Amino acid sequence: MLDLAYAEPRLRQLFPWTGMGELHFSRCTEQRWTWDIPYIQPAAAGGYWISGPLRSQTVGPAETAEQAVAMVVEHLPTGCGPAFLGTPDELAAHEQAAQGHLNG
């Protein structure tokens, strides 16, 4: 799964992390990572389940790892990547400053 995700250019530029058997992607490199990208988890009956970005949200099932990766890519937020070197708070401040620079 990691090799397939790395082979996808839009996912390769993000920060991957794993937990509880799940593969997540973050827009920043430091903890607490961002939770605005769907993630991949193994399905009990085989295959994969794509959830997120929040735990209460679902994208759907995937029979293969290739399908799972494609589903995450399809649901990436607009303007996603490359990963910001820092924390989610630092990323938010950077994005706010960049937006203010564009508007001002």
Nearest to 12 by CA among 25, 28, 23, 22: 25
Task: Report the SS3 class of residue 39.
Answer: strand
Q: Can you list the positions of beta strands (E) in 1-104?
A: 15-19, 22-26, 39-42, 48-51, 58-62
What's the pLDDT score for residue 64? 97
What's the pLDDT score for residue 100? 77
Per-residue pLDDT of the chain (104 residues; tens, 9 = 90+): 999 999 999 999 999 999 999 999 999 999 989 999 999 999 999 999 999 998 899 999 999 999 999 999 999 998 898 999 999 999 999 999 988 776 75
What's the pLDDT score for residue 104? 58
What's the pLDDT score for residue 9? 96
What is the C-alpha separation between 18 and 30, in angstroms, rounded?
A: 14
